[in-house]
Amino acid sequence: MPRPGPPASAFALVLGLFVVLMGATWFRHTDVGDAQLYQVIARHMLRGGDWLSLEYLGRPFFDHLPFGLWPIALAQAVDERAVIPLHALFSVLTVALVGVVGHRLSGPWAALGSMLVLATTQMYFFQTSYPTLDPLLLLLTTASVIPVLTNAGTRAQWFTAWLFAALAVAVKGPFGLLPLGGVIGARVLVDRSWRHLGWGALVLGLAVAPVALFLALRPDWREGYGVHQLLASASGERTDGAAGYALAFKFIADRYWPWFPLLFLGLAATIRPGPPEHVNACRKLAVACALVLIGLSLPHRKLWHHTLVAYPLLSTLIGVAIAPRLAGWFGEAAGRRRLLAGLGVALGLAVSAVAGGVERVLMARPCVLATDFSDELQLVHAGGTVAVISEHEEWDMLSALAFERDVTPVRTASWEGVSGPLVLATDQAWATAPSGWAALKQARGWVFATLRPP
């Protein structure tokens, strides 16, 4: 007789633990430049009324399609503080969907294990409440794999997979296809299902169609996004990021903690004798994960956060692999009580850690704008411009100024043409400052200066 599954309160405790861990970084200054950049673009989108043409610091922006920024803009239309809870909700729903995948593949203990692993993976709970494109992307890609991975695949299920995959592609281009493509490949290779090959190829092709149509109708986006973003990233023409064929696997080894060692348990479950359904589920998940990581390895330009799209499948692989052990440890009445007590203690410790300022460990020291220059920046009025004088791009500095002070920062390598009244300059640039400028404060390699009245 199979042992009973975990109590419903265990799932609630896991979700509560995830929310508390995410909450450590809510409503605080962050140096995650993407989060600031997207909010600035969405702010301009609302003010300008054009939801298809993006602008950042006075220039057109084509690095991402506009559609993934719409939820940010809609939340800002209510209140700028609503953006973070919205993205936290996306991530909570992703954890819940991972539980659905685990349950359908291997029962309730696999669901609980999958949810717990994803919820407590440090780079997941730390990153996925920020208003970037990743929380919505992961929600949509996880939803897209459920009908294909856990069912035989009726037309209605393939339509559901197509719908969520098409939305995911609209959010973040090719990354929206990777999980579904990996799962289709796993069904073909593990189940030897040629039906999945045919339907899968059709669905993947159709998932690209809406974005392809948009690019066909908008030559500016076809050039800016299709050529200078997608093709440039694939070919190496874009030199930001990192290059290397095995980097996606290295990023997982470096950042998928504390659960990375259990991935080897998941791989072992694919060859260890056991119930055929359990072994088959582990094999499909392992192949899907491998195919996703191979897909992430193909473009020349790579960034670590691109691998977040693999985290739900990796967590489900671990959850399914450890499900028999969880059932053995906690399946009886006494074990269920121990499980709830352990999760309750973990939740209490998380609350205490957040109240005690664990974000100081999780987050890097805030930049000079949020600390040393916070008082001086009160002189900066919204809607104005601020010169940032540096030999380097200072991308994070610009995005922080643009978002938190609602100004247009202008980066320049020299003092030529700078007329004030306020500037931020590196120490090296300050050494060549023309007469007439006075330093208001100097800290951490930067000088905040003003133009003296004549």
C-alpha 129/C-alpha 116 separation (Å) is: 17
Of 179 and 25, more confident: 179
Residue 58 has a pLDDT of 87
With CA atoms as reference, report the closest residue to 173 among 18, 63, 301. Answer: 63
Which residues lie closer than 8 Å to 120 by C-beta, 6 or more apart? 17, 18, 21, 258, 259
pLDDT at 390 over 70: yes
The answer to whether 36 touches 30, Cβ cutoff 8 Å, is yes
pTM (2 decimals)? 0.94
Alpha-carbon distances of 399 from 38, 312, 394, rounded to whole Å:
9, 30, 9
Lowest mean pLDDT among 9-23, 305-319, 329-343, 402-416: 402-416
Q: What is the 3-state secondary structure (H, E, C) of 191-208?
A: HCCHHHHHHHHHHHHHHH
pLDDT at 417 over 90: no
For residues 160-170, b (16+ Cβ closer than 10 Å) or e, as one string? bbbbbbbbbbb
C-alpha 412/C-alpha 390 separation (Å) is: 6
Bridge partners (DSSP) listed for residue 302: 242
Residue 338: in which H helix or E strand, if any?
Answer: helix 333-355
The 10s digit of each residue's pLDDT in 28-41 is 777 777 889 999 99
Residue 322 has a pLDDT of 97
pLDDT band at 370 (very low <50, low <70, confident <90, very high): confident
Give the helix ranges, DSSP H, for 107-193: 108-119, 122-127, 134-149, 155-172, 178-191
89 conformational bin, left if phi > 0, alpha if psi -120 to 50, beta if neither: alpha
Task: Report how far Cα 56 is from the mean position of its chain's Cα atoms.
Answer: 21
The answer to whether 126 touches 362, Cβ cutoff 8 Å, is yes
Mean pLDDT value across residues 155-168:
97
Of 453 and 314, more confident: 314
Residue 454 has a pLDDT of 66
The 10s digit of each residue's pLDDT in 289-327 is 999 999 999 999 999 999 999 999 999 999 999 999 999
Q: Is the dihedral of CA 10, 11, 17, 20 positive or negative?
A: negative
Tokens in use for 320? 């399914």
Alpha carbons within 13 A on the beta-carbon side of 110: 25
C-alpha 64/C-alpha 62 separation (Å) is: 5
Alpha-carbon distances of 296 from 28, 42, 202, 251, 282, rounded to whole Å:
31, 28, 21, 11, 21
